[in-house]
Structure 1
Amino acid sequence: MAFAISANQLRRDGKPVTSLPSPYTGGALPSPTRFLAMHFTYGASARSSAEWFQSKDNPGSSAHLVIDRDGSVIQCVRFDKVAWHAGKSTWRGLSGLNHHSIGIELANWGPLHLAGGEWKSHTGVTIAHPHIAKHKNGNPNGENCPIGWEPYPPVQFQVAAEIARLLVKTYGVEEIVGHDDISAGWKWDTGPAFDMAHFRSLVFGGRADNDGVGLTVDVAEGLNLRTGPGTTFPVLRLLPAGTLVEPIERDGRWLGVSVLNAQGQPSQTGWVHDHYLS
């Protein structure tokens, strides 16, 4: 499978993906586009969500893409147009992330509830093998204990990562965020079942799996690992030349990375400038 973008439309294996255009757009989206915002739909399928984005009963929500559990993709808004996916949102000193981000929705029920000893969606669909965890911002039901969440199928996750890599290359996306990052306290997507750190590493590390290394410190005197994306942030340590790191997020020319130990396992996180990596 191979994705490409032509005239702000997504193509797969040389053909346009299914298009169900939403009327709910907000003018031109600037390029470069700083952020990619990930969501779950709370719904049954990509098509049902895409059709909702077309519905007259919809109060005005939309997204650029919806990816189904089987990896099929529907485009609802062109990548050069604002989609209404973020709502009330703030990040990196910006408000109204609709005007600064591309939005991808993943077909997923999100939080589940126990009924008759089974974890079920809000519509009563049983999820046989849920992901059990507490949300980092607190569970939507207010309970302070692990609850069930629908897992994301590997094919859906991998397709989303492949498309995200293409969006980074085409539109200069610098950072990937969840709706629960930019609208903390009232949104819970993508939730704890979505491995955001791994997703970012797949996208910014340029790999489709966990094999191989990431990037290498390529400066003889070593490279400062900092607490944030800039020289004003304190130095955590000096990384010697040859140190392996795995990118997990980006802010301009600065990369948030996991420092890998001799066994290839993450040992520390921090920020480095990408000019000194190869």
Structure 2
Amino acid sequence: MAFTIDQRHRLIENGRLVTRIMSPAQNTGGAFARQPSILIVHFTYGASAKSSAEWFRDGPKKVSAHVVVDRDGTVIQCVDFDTAANHAGESSWGGLTSFNNKSFGIELANWGYLKRSGAGWSSYTGVPIPEPFIAPHKNGNPYLPTDAPIGWEPYPQAQIASAMGIAREMVKTYRVDTILGHDDIARGRKWDPGPAFDMARFRNQVLGDRAVDGPNTLTVRSPSGLNLRKGPGVSFDALELLSDGTMVEPVERNGNWVLVNVLDEAGIAQKTGWVHGAFLV
């Protein structure tokens, strides 16, 4: 597959427009005031890409996304890339808020978190998932007051390959330099794309050497503390002083600066910001 984006901000696959089930204007935020460089990954919490795209078009909640990718890699465009989609809702991350107007949204057809069904796991609609991914969510599980592992629908390789191809073209066309999950910008409210989605690998495959490639957690080593900043440089305001020994999860690299999730003692992300990489081990 080969994805490109034309001058009208429409997605092309192998020389042809992808299927278009367009969300109505009232389900979008209108033209972007400023071109985004952030991509947000979601799961649909539903069946097929087509059913989700039709729900974006016809549903009552006035939500939308730029593209939906089905489990077999089939792609549907719902909003052109010059228009804000209503995919993020109430959101904040790295000192930014209101991500509908600051990001692109890609939805992956996936049932998301599952429920126990006898000895196995199924979707909330009762669809059995025979080989679920078993893990707790990094921000705490969505429906159980526990950090115990629960079931999640896996993402097929064909779906990931299409999503990566689209994301790489967005890097080329729109200079996307940051990839986040909905669960990064709406913690405690959203759990997509969840632990079944290998975000570290996805970022590395899409962003190349701009992504962090290394251990999942690092430790702050600075006896006097380390400033967590709003951006990658000392000119950006400090959000707080991280103490020596603080555990962090690297997200993205920009020169000597690393975007990190700050983890609590349970390994759950509490806040996000930039730190100088020289003080991480």
TM range (shorter): 0.7 to 0.9
Equivalent residue for 1:69, pick from 63, 68, 71: 71
Under a length normalisation based on structure 2, what TM-score does the superposition of the two structures give?
0.76
Q: 1:159 to 1:89 in 2, by over 3 A?
A: same
Per the alignment, do residues 5 and 126 of structure 1 end up closer, same or farther by CA in structure 2, a change over 3 Å counting?
Answer: same
Give the CA deviation at 1:58: 2.3
**TM-score, with normalisation over the residues of structure 1?**
0.76
Task: State the shift of 1:165 in Å.
Answer: 1.1
Find the counterpart in structure 2 of residue 218 from structure 1.
Answer: none
1:84-139 deviations in Å (ceiling 9; x for gaps): 00000012212110000000000000000111111000000111110000001111
Residue 187 in structure 1 maps to residue 190 in structure 2: yes
Q: Which consecutive unaligned segments of at least 5 residues does structure 1 have?
A: 211-225, 235-246, 258-269, 273-278
Please name the residue that 1:27 is paired with.
30
**Which stretch has the larger CA shift, 8-17 or 90-99?**
90-99
Residue aligning to 1:51: 54
Change (3 A) 1:256 1:69: farther
Distance change in 2, residues 1:176/1:250 (3 Å):
farther
- The DSSP-based 3-state class of the residue aligned with 1:52 is helix
Give the count of matched residue pairs. 233
Please tell me the residue identity of whatever aligns with 1:158.
Answer: A
* Mapped contact 1:22–1:77 kept (Cα < 8 A): yes
SS in 1 for 2:134: strand
User: 1:122 maps to which residue?
Assistant: 124
Q: Hey, what does 2:203 align to over in structure 1?
A: 200
Match of 1:12 in 2: 13
Which one-letter code corresponds to 1:165 in the other structure?
R
| Shift of residue 64, structure 1, vs aligned partner | 0.3
Which amino acid counterpart does residue 53 of structure 1 have in structure 2? F
State the partner residue of 1:90: 92
Give the aligned residue type for 1:4.
T
What does 1:120-159 align with in structure 2 at a 5 Å threshold?
Answer: 120-144=122-146, 145-159=148-162
Aligned residue number for residue 219 of structure 1 = none
Moved more, 57-66 or 36-45: 57-66
Question: Structure 2, unaligned stretches of length 5 or more?
Answer: 214-226, 242-249, 260-274
Question: 1:26-71: per-residue Cα shift (whole Å, max 9, x none)?
Answer: 111144312101100000010000000011x421110000000000
Corresponding position of 1:230: 233
**Which residue does 2:39 correspond to in 1?**
36
CA distance in 2, matches of 1:121, 1:129: 12
1:160 paired to 2:155: no
Q: Does the 8 Å CA contact 1:174/1:250 hold for their aligned counterparts?
A: no
**SS of corresponding position for 1:78:** coil
Task: Tell me which amino acid in the other structure corresponds to 1:17.
Answer: V
* Amino acid corresponding to residue 126 of structure 2 in structure 1: G
Are 2:22 and 2:78, in contact at CA under 8 Å, matched by a contact in 1?
yes
Change (3 A) 1:50 1:255: farther
Q: What CA distance in whole angstroms lies between the structure 1 residues aligned with 2:179 and 2:37?
A: 9
Helix, strand or coil: the match of 2:162? Answer: helix
What is the alpha-carbon distance in structure 1 between the residues aligned to residue 208 and residue 177 of structure 2?
A: 13
CA contact (8 A) 1:137 1:184 kept: yes
Q: Residues of 1 paired with 2:234 and 2:96: CA distance?
A: 21
Note the alpha carbon deviations across 1:195-232, whole angstroms, 9 max, x for none: 111110011118xxx9xxxxxxxxxxxxxxx9873257
CA distance in structure 1 between the aligned counterparts of 2:276 and 2:52, rounded to whole angstroms: 37
Q: 1:104 to 1:71 in 2, by over 3 A?
A: same
Q: Provide the C-alpha distance between the structure 2 equivalents of 1:248 and 1:136, rounded to a whole number of angstroms.
A: 14
Alignment of 1:171 with 2:174, yes or no, is yes
Measure the CA separation in 1 of the matches of 2:71 and 2:258.
29
- Rate the CA distance shift 1:227–1:94 in 2: closer, same or farther, 3 A: closer
Aligned to 1:104: 106
Aligned-pair identity in percent equals 54
